[in-house]
Amino acid sequence: MKSDTLHKSKKEAETLKQPLVFIDGKFYPKSEAKVSVFDHGLLYGDGVFEGIRSYNCLVFKLKEHLVRLYESAHTLLLNIPLTKEASAKAIIETLRVNHLRDSYVRVIVTRGTGDLGLDPRKCKKPTIIIIADKIVLYPESLYKNGMDIITVPTVRNLPEAVNPSIKSLNYLNNILAKIEAVNSGYQEALMLNADGYVVECTGDNIFIVKNGILQTPPTYLGALKGITRQAIMDLAVRNDIPRQEQVLTRHDLFNADEAFLTGTAAEVIPVVKIDGRVIGDGKPGKMTQKLMSAFRDSTKKDGVKYTV
Q: Is 11 a catalytic residue?
A: no
Altogether, the residues listed in the chain come to a count of 308
Q: How many helices, marked H, and strands, marked E, lie in the chain? A: 9, 16
Nearer residue to ligand PMP within complex by CB, 98 or 205: 205
Q: For residues 296 and 103, what is the distance between their CA atoms, to the nearest angstrom?
A: 15
Minimum distance, C-beta of residue 223 to ligand PMP, in the bound complex (Å): 6
- Distance separating alpha carbons of residues 81 and 125, to the nearest angstrom: 8
| Shortest separation between residue 241's beta carbon and ligand PMP, angstroms | 18
Smallest separation (angstroms) from ligand PMP to the CB of 87: 16
Cα separation, 43 vs 37, whole angstroms: 8
Alpha carbon distance 80, 111 (integer Å): 9
Question: Which residues have CB under 8 Å from 47's CB, separation 6+?
Answer: 40, 41, 76, 78, 108, 109, 110, 111, 126, 127, 168, 169
60: closest CA among 101, 19, 90?
A: 101
Nearer to ligand PMP, 225 or 283 (CB): 225
Q: What are phi and psi of 142, to 5 degrees?
A: -70, -30
Shortest Cβ 164–ligand PMP spacing (Å): 6
Residue type, 78: L
Instruction: Tell me how far, at minimum, the Cβ of 230 lies from ligand PMP, in Å.
Output: 8
For ligand PMP, the closer of residues 224 and 235 by Cβ is: 224
Residues contributing to the site for ligand PMP (CB under 6 A): 51, 174, 200, 203-205, 224, 226-229, 262-265
Measured at the alpha carbon of residue 39, what is the angle toward residues 35 and 42, in degrees to the nearest 5? Answer: 90
Catalytic residue selected from 10, 167, 225, 305? 167
- CB closer to ligand PMP out of 148 and 188: 188
147 membership: H or E segment, kind and range: strand 147-151
Of the two residues 103 and 264, which places its CB atom closer to ligand PMP in the complex? Answer: 264
Residues annotated as catalytic (active site), given as ranges? 167
